[in-house]
Amino acid sequence: MHQKLELPGIERIRARFLEMLEQRQRALAEHALAAWEGTSLQDINDNLTEARRILHQIAGTAGSLGFDDLGTIARDNEVAIDTHLDGPNGKIASCPTEIIFGLDDFLKSSEALIAEQATLESA
């Protein structure tokens, strides 16, 4: 379990993380859609690899900033993509539905976190 950092300026770092999270959500959604609609193995796997990179960045930072649940969901999705790409199905030009559903869950969770933090800031 991560402890929430309480260093000077941490709130500004959290706010910047949430701003970047909005940008990363868009990029992640674009890569998920491109992987889902992809017709070649390279297109699908390149987009999954890029989605994995984004998730890795989020997972590595979220827990440190007190967003443990988001970090866990990001890491779970990262592992699911790794498992797919490294397994025998990673050589088939198809994006698994489970990965798309997992990414959708991540996007919903990140959207809820952003909304929750905005509500806290306006209170």
With residue 29 as reference, give the H or E element that holds it: helix 10-37
Mean of the pLDDT values across residues 7-13?
82
Q: Is the pTM of this model over 0.95?
A: no
**What pLDDT is recorded for position 30?**
98
Q: CB of 85 within 8 A of CB of 49?
A: yes
Task: Give me the chain's average pLDDT, please.
Answer: 92
| CA nearest neighbour of 104 among 64, 67, 50, 51 | 51
Query: Per-residue b/e over 53-64, b at no fewer than 16 CB within 10 Å?
Result: ebbbebbebbbb
- Report the SS3 class of residue 1: coil
Convert the pLDDT of each residue in 90-123 to its tens digit. Answer: 999 999 999 999 999 999 999 999 999 888 888 7
**What pLDDT is recorded for position 7?**
65
Mean of the pLDDT values across residues 6-24?
88
Asked whether the predicted pLDDT for residue 3 surpasses 60, the reply is no
Instruction: Indicate the range of 1-5, 27-31, 53-57 predicted with least confidence.
Output: 1-5
